[in-house]
Structures are given as C-alpha cells and as structure tokens.
Amino acid sequence: MRIFEFPNKFSKQSTSNFSSSEAASTSKSMAQDRETLKSSVSKSLAAGTQHLSAQERNLVHLSSKKLEGRQRQITATIQIPRSLESVWQILTDYDGLATFIPNLTKSKRLPHPAGGIRLEQSGAQCFLNIQFCARVVLDMYERFPHELGFKMVEGDFKLFQGAWRLTHLGTEEHPVTKLSYELLVQPPLAMPMALIESHLRSNLSENLTAIRQRAVAFAR
C-alpha cells in the first residue's frame, strides 16, 4: 500500500515512441502536476489543525531532527492533568484507539508468534481528491507505567519505531503526566520526505490533544 501516488499519465512503453520534443513536453507537464500536488497537500496539512483552538495547539510542543539519509526524528510532548496510570490505560486501549484518535481509521490487535503485543494500524486523510493513507504493523513493548515502545515489523515505511514516555510531574493530590512521543521514521523513496514530515507533525498535534481530552474527560 502506498501513502499516495503522483499522477502517472504515461507508461514506459507508450513514451518509448515519443519524439524528443514530445517527451520534453510530457516531462514538463508531469513536473507541473507534481508541484500542484505538493502545494495542495501542503495547504491541506497546514489546515489540519485549524479546528484546534490556539490554546490547544500551544499545549503540544513539537521538534524534528534530520538524521542521515532520509531519516527523521520527531518528538511531541504534552502535559496532562491526570495520573500516569490513567494516561497509560488510555494508550494501551489498543482496540479502542481508532474511536478517538483523529485520522486513525483502524487499530486492532493481531496474534503474535511469541505471545507479545502486535497491532495493525491504518490512518487516512483526504486532501481534495487525493487519498493519503498508510498502514503499519507494530510490535509493542510495555514497561509500565513509564514507557510504551513500538517497532514496525510490516508496513508502508522503511523505518518506523519509537516510544511513548510518561513522566510524573505533579503531586499525589494533583497529578500531572508529561506525555512524550518519540518517532524515528524513514519513508520509501516514492514518498516525498517534506510532505510525510509535515503530515506526521500535523497528526501528532491532533493526536496528543485528543489523548489529553480523553484523559481529562474519562480518567479520574
């Protein structure tokens, strides 16, 4: 499954009979299509968090770091006025995550050959007439209540692994949990890195805000 595909108007076979001028014209047209697509997707990504209030957007702190090749390290953090245990319970409701995480269309536990925790997750967004989607199968590593690691064993990325980290900041009477999401990601060559990075950052703002809202509403 590909996250999205740029328009492919001409096969290799059909272009083999083109003249040099026709080939140049076709190449220019396809390049224009790429730029139009990039612009449309970038604008849609930027608009993805517009429904969040300014206060909600400011709750999430995002950073990204370029590593070797096409790898990126993305980190997002948020503070939640609930206990570690309450936040942990929400994160490990694996089959229920898609009911409140924006753009997560599927989250389902799968059988694990070694008896561990394996999830299949899919996400999707629609930008104009473009369906932007991705699927991953993740092995989870629980270290209650401070770390929830994950590593892709199958899916649409070259590399997708990281961890949720929970840190206690408040008091017993007034608990506060610092929730951090750390991701190391590398898309395949067919996926533009800048668009994937923008997509992930946009989603993380919404996702962490949704987790906070869920914790505040249901965890006491």
Residues 127 and 164 in one domain: yes
Q: Is the pTM of this model over 0.85?
A: no
pLDDT digits (tens, 9 = 90+) for 50-88: 455 656 668 999 999 999 999 999 999 999 999 999 999
For the chain, what is the mean pLDDT? 81
Is 31 in the same domain as 124? no
Do 103 and 196 share a domain, yes or no?
yes
Pair of tokens at residue 85:
């245990």
Q: Please report whether residue 189 resides in a domain.
A: yes
Q: Is residue 55 part of a domain?
A: no
Same domain? 154 vs 178: yes
- 112 shares a domain with 23: no
CA 193/CA 10 separation, integer angstroms? 24
Evaluate whether residue 3 is within a structural domain. Answer: no
Residues 6+ apart with CB under 8 A from 211: 78, 80, 87, 90, 91, 101, 179
Higher pLDDT, 211 or 1: 211
Q: Domain count of the chain?
A: 2
Interatomic CA distance for residues 216 and 56, integer angstroms: 13
* pLDDT at residue 105 is higher than 80: yes
In a domain, 4, yes or no: no
Residues 73, 100 within the same domain = yes
Q: What six digits make up the tokens of 183?
A: 């991701």
Q: Which domain holds residue 38?
A: 19-44
Is position 6 within any domain? no
Please give the radius of gyration of the chain, using alpha carbons only, rounded to the nearest integer.
Answer: 20
90 assigned to some structural domain: yes
Kindly state whether residue 11 falls inside one of the protein's structural domains. Answer: no
The residue among 39, 56, 47, 8 whose CA lies nearest residue 212 is 56
Specify the range with the lowest mean pLDDT, choosing from 17-26, 39-48, 194-203. 39-48
On whether both 125 and 214 belong to a single domain, the answer is yes
Does 122 share its domain with 29? Answer: no
Q: Give the pLDDT band of residue 27 (cuts 50, 70, 90).
A: low
pLDDT confidence tier of residue 49, bands split at 50, 70 and 90: very low
Q: Does residue 171 form part of some domain?
A: yes
